[in-house]
Chains A and B, each alone.
Chain A
Amino acid sequence: MADDASFPASGQNSGFQASRRTLLKTGLATGGGLFLSFGLEANGALAANASPMELNAYIRIMPDGAITIMGKNPECGQGIKTMLPMVIAEELDADWSKVRIEQALSEPAKYGSQVAGGSTATPTNYDPLRRIGAAGRQMMIEAAALTWKVPAAECVADMSAVAHKPSGRKLTYGQLAEKAASIPAPDLKTVTLKDPKTFRIIGKSAYGYDNPKIVKGEPIFGIDAKRPGMLYAVFVKCPVYGGKVKSAKLDEVLKHPGVKKAFVVEGDGEFNGLASGVAILADSWWRAKSAREKLVVEWDEGEVAGRSTAAFEKAAAALKGQPGKMPIRKDGDADAALAKAAKVIDVSYSYPFLSHTNLEPQNCTAEVKDGKVEIWAPTQNPQPGRQIVSKLLGVKPDDITIHMMRCGGGFGRRLQNDYMAEAAWMAKEAGVPVKVLWQREDDIAHDFYRPGGFHHVKAGLDDKGKLVAWKDHFVSFADPKDPTKFAAAADMGPTELPARLIEHVTMEATLLPCGIPTGPMRAPRSNALSFMQQSIFDELAHAAGKDPLQFHLEVLGEPRLMGQTGQRDSYDTGRARGVLEHVAALSGWGKTQLPARTGMGIAYYFSHLGYFAHVVRASVSNDGQIKVEKVWVAGDIGSQIINPTGALNQVEGSVIDGVSQALALAVTFENGHAVQTNFHEYPLIRMPAAPEVEVVFVKTDHPPTGLGEPALPPVIPALTNAIFAATGKRIRTLPIDARQLKA
């Protein structure tokens, strides 16, 4: 399930453990599923006061009936703080309108994996959290049955109360909480789950829990954290990745009004750790930032200073027609099949590095006191941050408390914790709480970029227009520490289509030295590979003289499952066909008369366990201006849409995000640093360019899966295919160069 090597593997996600008030036994059942039995202490002392009854690590019930459910994962706009508690509340039979949600601390011993990444939260938590809620319901029913001295089977739970059917008696969860907390907790493996047909909360739109706070500007984001005596910091790093401070003149900086401290930080030499740089701490952020302008620093830029986008492009172009150095997949004999093919297309595709540009710039607040560290971090992935801080400061992981603050956007950037290392180090050095905040320019200059890439592809059709051979030489980037390994998120797996669908497939790679930090960005790999693969499929359809939808269905063939169901390297051609056919019907594919220079494009992609197909309708003016008029989406993420409004919002956002990337976004490098500095050079999409999006979910008999990512990848090729349909011009490089689209 893990998207990144740093994520815990699937199955390790289920290690719930004891809170202080509960005795829990935890472990993995044979087969890797969740095994959790929890028994509460028979606790008279607890019952004597009015403190909340903690049924388990997730559920607290007050005597007045108020229910608090913990939100276990970081919230970065994916809606997880609302959605996972819905799952618990459903099985608990709680009154949703009275449920309060509290953001959990980062406590993996108690909550298992707490990561916002890889669209993993739904598939890994849906069943375990249903069981947590169901156990709570069972305890409430048991408590009522004991009170009334009736069989539990005669009692039913509904809307935070238990009723005794034969007598009509009723007790609320608040009235039952104390007794329920004294009952031995049931084995989660054997609790009875509700029939989905009876769901009242799952499947019904729930508004974002924090929305009322957000529309009033209440302080809930990382950047809003404040501690008594806190100083505000800027941290100045070398514009060239991996560069180090050679010397720094701090006198003028220290004379600036409000500046309390300024010092050089050596760093630990890790990208996702503490960079070398200069810390400036002042009594307001503006004063720290203004003092920065007086800083004179000489950098040792290191070897990355030689890197440039122009050099990457030149090196990649020179590899066209050459064999790749690293095999990814070899089935049959692609060279021989291409030699015999009736038609061969021989094309090169490329896409750029991208910045995540969370609207909330990276920041973190830290306090070091009495050998303990407390951190307020807008992070998607707190646990690796804890390890980094532990190592840097020489503090035990257990002595580090991490508050997972609401993130002003994640998109994968906040899977890294470099800002956490900076804040913790500065707080320790300064001896006071510190909030570090990056400027936008820092944020674009020091990202873990979506890596760019180049593909030299030959594909062959037989005389019936059937795809028979595929050969992809992928020119990508090497890990800074190991030239034989792909850089982070710069790889391509051996199951990319058309692998397993046709007989003759060669996929190989050559890795260019890079040294620029890379990392996952929303739908990592898929957000780039989809463009290459689905554009070429469209090229092949046209070369074969076939309608692209028809061509796609022929390539997919009969509905069948390749690989193991529920695995990321599986592929269910039936589900892919399903979303294609639904999006075709929804969009009027092949049945719509279009004006001149207007076209529709179709594409599909499977990522993060979700199947999506998109149709884009776009027009191109005579001077090359693109208008994305409408996007139709069909998605299959299984049997259950947990929170429909949230699901729709994710799809709309993913689609417009993808359009934004395709139309205008790129980070380029000169002399080892990013050229782009702020939004005038990295023009995110704005309201006038955002298309209308119409969505249908195709419900299939599969476990529900995540939605932060899989709706993004198909929109980019669907758009470039629409532009081809409108203009006859094939887009093989991103972002789209509008100059080549003039009439």
Chain B
Amino acid sequence: MPVSIPSSRLIYDALKACGVGLVSALPETWLVHLIRMAEEDPEMILVRLAKEEEGVGLSAGAYLAGTKSAMLMQNHGFLASVNGIVSCAQLYRIPLLMLISHRGEFGERDPWQTEGGGVTEHVLQALRIPYAYLDAPDHVAHRIRKAQTLAYSANKPVALLLCRDLMWEEA
């Protein structure tokens, strides 16, 4: 399972540098190392979810109570969270930092991921959620920091799409 450990470490360290104290997650292949890093970090509250939409409520509660959080999910998890994003985070102007593994793009071999990959960005655009790709190591730290900065200044959800070129080590 050639998920990049160095890239996962870069992402995790960037979240820590941004003061993230709670991570909600639902496992997916590209997220395994990130979830393990959160699990092994005694300073991090890791909440394993049954469904990604719960993470919107968790992040909203944590935020209002004073803790910065990040959500780790697959793009299908993002699709499953849309009502919570709209009717909790956007309705109540709650910042969310969503790290979404962008499955189903060029290079995808799993047939079941391909439909979600094609609609993810359209849904983000329809929801007016600012987003950027994380697709190379050199911009990971500052894109995460800048995404979080906007989320908190605008009081709204932002998304970073974790791309194959960053997450998957394969020729």
Our verdict on whether A and B bind, yes or no, reads no
> Measuring CB to CB, which residues of chain B are less than 8 angstroms from any residue of chain A?
none
